[in-house]
A and B are shown apart, each in its own frame.
Chain A
């Protein structure tokens, strides 16, 4: 076969690939990616009086993300309210990741050790809650932890507490809700990693007189590391951008960054600040995903 027809075929292949993908690309650019560029633009404009923007360049929104000027003497200071919200978002997201890992690892292990014909059923049981409406699952948690809810009723019935513990509308409520909602995202990649894990390595460990803890720490965890990283990123990223769960479980005061962004487009009437905050959130998420891609690539090389 001559080189010319070879490259001609490659070119035809590329043209077909692009042509067939074109409708999807157009749809995604109009309905998802393109508008992100408008957000970048808006973050450099001045806020309009009621909503929207005034088309004048300004770095004010980016400045406001972290700093503020004192109303009286104009001195420069940190925007404490914003820092509190950022810190809550990061802290709750990290804690959510830790909790889902602690609960997800045994669950994934349990599923992977089931007979093959039953594994699909257990996996399906994990995925059903994941695909069901986020709002419904958050609502279900709300019902459980509210003052008159089942948790408090049960604790009072057992005589452990005299009056209901206020959980709803606290950071703890957000944490419980997010751990509940995002758990499947941790279990699935962990399961995939454990499923490929060669159990003979454990036997070898035991043959060499390792304890169970040692086998877990020195053999299992290092080998399923790509799954751990994947699960952690998959939980951390949506937790950081969570909106529905903190809004319903945290009440109005315990905002996370997603709710704070919304506030700027509602009562806050500061679209440029909301745009700048969106870009900050997007940047953090992209960095987390890049870390994931690099670790995943390294995992492949080892394998």
Chain B
């Protein structure tokens, strides 16, 4: 095992190269080692992934119950694919997530441009609190509030469409879109825009040709996060949806309360795959280079 880097750095700073050499082999004294910590950490990682791995493995189980292994099969994927309810729910989930990601990312980009760099202004704290409010208020409380609010509007206007879900999802996705965009903006150098202005670019040209391309990775990351958050939402969707407006998660919630078939494993695995794909893209986009 390599000596942890931080320990080496500390030893360097302490000016003790001899001790570093001495510490390298095997189980000699290491400053950063704490008894049992490594074991607990490895156990945590195993326990974190074991249930998910089991779920994925059993989605390929041929047997109709989840307790017995009956050989490899894709029948539950075929079942889920052939199930019209699942298909509708999946399309509805993707539709809502696309709208929610587009809307929340647009308003979050504007807000991030308004609230970062160039110094503070009165009311900025209020704006921060408002934007991050969905992260603070328990989801069940927001869900109940929206249920009451939208129930009244549904009665008053007669409109029952997906608009309510899109509105609710767009709202709670705002902080998730905002935070990566803001982080990106704050790490950007203002001097490039100053240089553009010095070269007689109009504010719009500067924004279009300098600022926007520079912040694009942040915007893409924010949009992806918003998409994932919308796709995964259960509670608010469950309370806001009208009859026949199941998304994939609420469809699964309904299934989980009744008899569970490996079909749920198959749907879960597919959804999991999509999420991990998007997250990997997010990870690559936000990774610091060099």
Q: A32-B142, A39-B145, A261-B144 are in contact. Are A112 and B51 (CB under 8 A)?
A: no
Task: Report the contact-size class of chain B (Cβ under 8 Å from the partner).
Answer: 35 or more
Kindly identify, within residues 230 to 285 of chain B, every residue whose CB is under 8 Å from any CB belonging to chain A: 231-232, 234-235, 239, 249, 252-253, 256-257, 264, 268, 271-272, 275-276, 279, 283
Interface flag for B200 (CB, 8 Å): no
Q: Which residue of A lies closest to B240 (CB)?
A: A31
Which of A128-136, A223-231, A294-302 is near enough to bind chain B? A128-136
Kindly identify, within residues 83 to 138 of chain B, every residue whose CB is under 8 Å from any CB belonging to chain A: 103-104, 106-108, 110-111, 113-115, 118-119, 121-124, 127, 130-131, 133-134, 136-138
Q: How far is the CA of A45 from the CA of B167 in the complex (A)?
A: 27
Residues of chain A within 8 A of B48, CB atoms compared? 125-126, 129, 180, 183
Q: A17-B115, A202-B31, A241-B140 are in contact. Are A28 and B148 (CB under 8 A)?
A: no
Interface flag for A96 (CB, 8 Å): no
Binding site for B on A (CB under 8 A): 10, 13-14, 16-21, 23-25, 27-36, 38-39, 42, 52, 103-107, 109-116, 120, 124-129, 131-137, 139-144, 148-150, 153, 180, 183, 198-200, 202-203, 206, 212, 216, 237-238, 240-241, 243-244, 248, 258, 261-262, 265, 271, 274-275, 278, 281-282, 285-286, 289
Apart from A21-B110, A34-B149, A281-B141, list 20 A-B contacts with CB within 8 A: A17-B124, A23-B110, A24-B108, A27-B107, A30-B167, A30-B171, A110-B41, A134-B234, A135-B256, A139-B268, A144-B50, A144-B51, A180-B51, A199-B9, A212-B35, A243-B139, A243-B235, A258-B138, A262-B140, A286-B136
Binding site for A on B (CB under 8 A): 2, 4-7, 9-11, 13-14, 31-32, 34-45, 47-52, 54-55, 58, 65-67, 103-104, 106-108, 110-111, 113-115, 118-119, 121-124, 127, 130-131, 133-134, 136-142, 144-149, 151-152, 167-168, 170-172, 174, 178, 228, 231-232, 234-235, 239, 249, 252-253, 256-257, 264, 268, 271-272, 275-276, 279, 283, 287
